[in-house]
Amino acid sequence: MHCPFCRNTDTRVLDSRVADDGGSIRRRRICSPDNGGCGKRFTTVELMQLTVTKRSGANEPFTRDKAIAGVRKACKGRPVTEDQLARLGQEVEDTLRAEGWAEVPAHEVGMAILGPLRKLDEVAYLRFASV
């Protein structure tokens, strides 16, 4: 990591924290004055990108909206609100991130959706599972 002030390559991490959404890590760093650096502190944000591996072998970034769109079709005509769908999408993304995979098979995304969807609406669960 280069220091944004003096461009020195020798920096140390002082503190690391997972951001609120769980999708990024904030790191507090210091430019090492021992090796000719300026000694200033700065913050970096590292994003953790989930990638979905499709059956065809193609990879694409995970998007919560795409997962919710599939569930929305299964919930058509059912008493499920957009807020409930948004919470389901967040729960699914949290589950996938907790697995620690950088690349998630599409099948695993579907399996991660089934649990929360079954708790939300049994008919929508059956519709989604049958596809």
pLDDT tens digit string along 104-127? 999 999 999 999 999 999 999 999
pLDDT tens digit string along 42-74? 999 988 788 999 999 999 999 999 999 999 999
Domain ranges of the chain: 11-47, 51-129
Q: Is the pTM of this model over 0.75?
A: no
How many whole angstroms separate alpha carbon 127 and alpha carbon 131? 7
> What pLDDT score does 24 carry?
80
* pLDDT bucket at 99, cuts 50 / 70 / 90: confident
